[in-house]
Chains A and B, each alone.
Chain A
């Protein structure tokens, strides 16, 4: 398996523009997570899905952020409009929970810079 795939790896945009980050989880995994990592705040959980259904979006900073998972193999995180303070590395992770806890597998991340 190729692991969790994220695109793009780097994104540079101007304030006010729409940004869409993409994630393909590992095949067969039933949980998908979006995280944001910054120097100031560390690693934060934004939202997670179980079987394509959003379970907890309490970490989404504000209405400018939205996430979807239209099917088991694809998810998007959208920021509209983007602001400089959104600059961060965004990670997608997936896991197969089943019985007991299993580790999350992280993608390589998308480094977002908003000018």
Chain B
């Protein structure tokens, strides 16, 4: 069964610093990978996806993710964090159905 792992429950970063939220996936072959974000008391919002093509995927709100097949990773990154980026981030794998990681809480301090 496919699965994704988010090794960090929480990531803390100061505003203006770069951020990375880690994710590794399990499926062999060519995975479909996504990042979703959940703000407090809100539904999930799509950030970006990797289906095929360039390993660096750009998404909403200045976020990007790097697909690394050799390391089976799909880390989420942003060059300069904002306090408003504080939220719960989910790494997701799948096609017609999605398998969600447990989520990583990102806290950006002023």
Contacts and interface: CB of A to CB of B under 8 A. Distances in A.
Nearest to B34: A103
Interface size class of A (residues with CB under 8 A): 20 to 34
B71 interface: no
A109 B41 CA distance: 8
Nearest to B99: A45
Given A42-B102, A101-B49, A101-B51, A31 B42 contact: no
Interface of B: 32, 34, 41-46, 49, 51, 90, 95-98, 100-103
Provide the main secondary structure of the chain A interface: strand
Contacts of B96: 31, 48, 50, 55, 97, 101
Contacts of B45: 106
Interface of A: 4, 31, 33, 42-43, 45, 48, 50, 55-56, 91, 93, 97, 100-101, 103-109
Contacts of B42: 108-109
Nearest to B96: A97
